[in-house]
Amino acid sequence: MNLQHQTALVTGGGTGIGRATSLALAGKGVSVAVNYSRSRQEAEETVQLIRSLGGQAIALQADVSKDHEVRDMTRQIAHHFGTLDLLVNNASITSHIPFPDLEAATEEVWDNLFAVNVKGMFYCARAVAPYMNKEGRGAIVNLGSIAGTTGLGSSLPYAVSKAAVHGLTKSLARALAPVIRVNCVVPGAVQTRWWAGREEQMKHLAPNLLLQQLSTPEDIAQLICAVLEQEAMTGQIITVDSGQTM
């Protein structure tokens, strides 16, 4: 599918993979709604970058864990651009907790991670579906993680939340077919601000990967765009991790 002249919502679109994806989509002629929860400055900078390159973009604040905010955001996007064709469910949070410390995985941690990482993706998919169905086409990419496949990651609740995202992808693909395609891109370690304070750990990891390098946000963005363009694929969980899980 040619993405030119379509409109995309990228949640958490102001930083890291979200920013790289927003820029990559804009480069393909897509009008981009850059969502943010707290990173207003970064989101507005992303919008300015897109506009400076001749693209169309707006920044919109919404907490994806709150259904009413998500619905209001999608209405604003459709009103501004006239349509809503693509969704990149990128917004996620984590808590860094040692796996053996089960007591630190409190009810609050579980609730917060699932509210954003799982329910937030569902809320966004549900909110955009009527607009896509009206147009007779649409595509959604959820951002998973190899933590959801391996069971390892920044915390036990985070890994479980990402496993849930993988399952959500397959269920949404069934629920929204045949008009809307839903797939999941699963990054391994990526050079983003999530490594802040753990740069030495990142440096030690890279040489042990098959490709001996961590993925960049641009690597992930390139695959996200390719998945959005691929019309013969839905319900798939696609890993991009420099061989980390081999």
Catalytic residue set: 158
Nearest CA among 175, 62, 158, 176 for reference residue 117: 158
Is the separation of the CB atoms in 121 and 165 below 8 Å? Answer: yes
DSSP state of 183: E
Residue 49 burial (CB count, 10 A): 16
**Distances from the Cα of 110 to the Cα of 106, 118, 120, 172, angstroms:** 6, 11, 14, 22
In DSSP notation, 61-96 reads E--TT-HHHHHHHHHHHHHHHS---EEEE-------
Residue 237 burial (CB count, 10 A): 17
Sign of the CA dihedral with 46 first, then 47, 48, and 52 last: positive
